[in-house]
Copies of this chain bind each other. A is one copy, B any other.
């Protein structure tokens, strides 16, 4: 899952920040390209691999599998395999995963506010010019 050099300055800085700032720690877990969006879908209910894949336009199987694996390792989601053929695998949020909801909402709220603020700023500047 990982091939990080534990001794790199990069890694050292990362763990230092995650140790001293819980926000940075949280970002270390959900702060990448796809995870928040995967969370968004799973927050609506359990889904199987293919369903998630189809929901996330542009994600590759590799990326999806990788992210799901990491999220499982980080106990955000659980994985249930049904002994059928073709295989059926269900992913769903764990309790601690579900607790991300307010965080996600906060993030979205601020994002919306920020976007509006920036767009307003641009408009003002354009008006002046």
Does A26 contact B102, Cβ atoms closer than 8 Å?
no
Q: Are A27 and B23 also in contact (CB < 8 A) when A75-B117, A107-B103 are?
A: no
Does A36 contact B16, Cβ atoms closer than 8 Å?
no
Interface residues as binary, A84-126 with B (CB distance below 8 Å gives 1, 0 otherwise): 0000000000011001101110111111111101100100000
Which residue of chain B lies nearest to A29 when distances are taken between CB atoms in the complex? B114
Chain B residues with CB under 8 Å of A110's CB are 26, 99-100, 102-103
Does A114 contact B96, Cβ atoms closer than 8 Å?
yes
Does A25 contact B111, Cβ atoms closer than 8 Å?
yes
A13–chain B nearest beta-carbon distance, Å: 5
Does A23 contact B96, Cβ atoms closer than 8 Å?
no
Does B37 contact A24, Cβ atoms closer than 8 Å?
yes
Which residue of chain B lies nearest to A36 when distances are taken between CB atoms in the complex? B23
Chain B residues with CB under 8 Å of A111's CB are 22-23, 25-26, 29
Chain B residues with CB under 8 Å of A113's CB are 96, 99
Chain A residues 1 to 52 lying within 8 A of chain B, measured CB to CB, are 9, 12-14, 16-17, 20-27, 29, 31-34, 36-37, 40
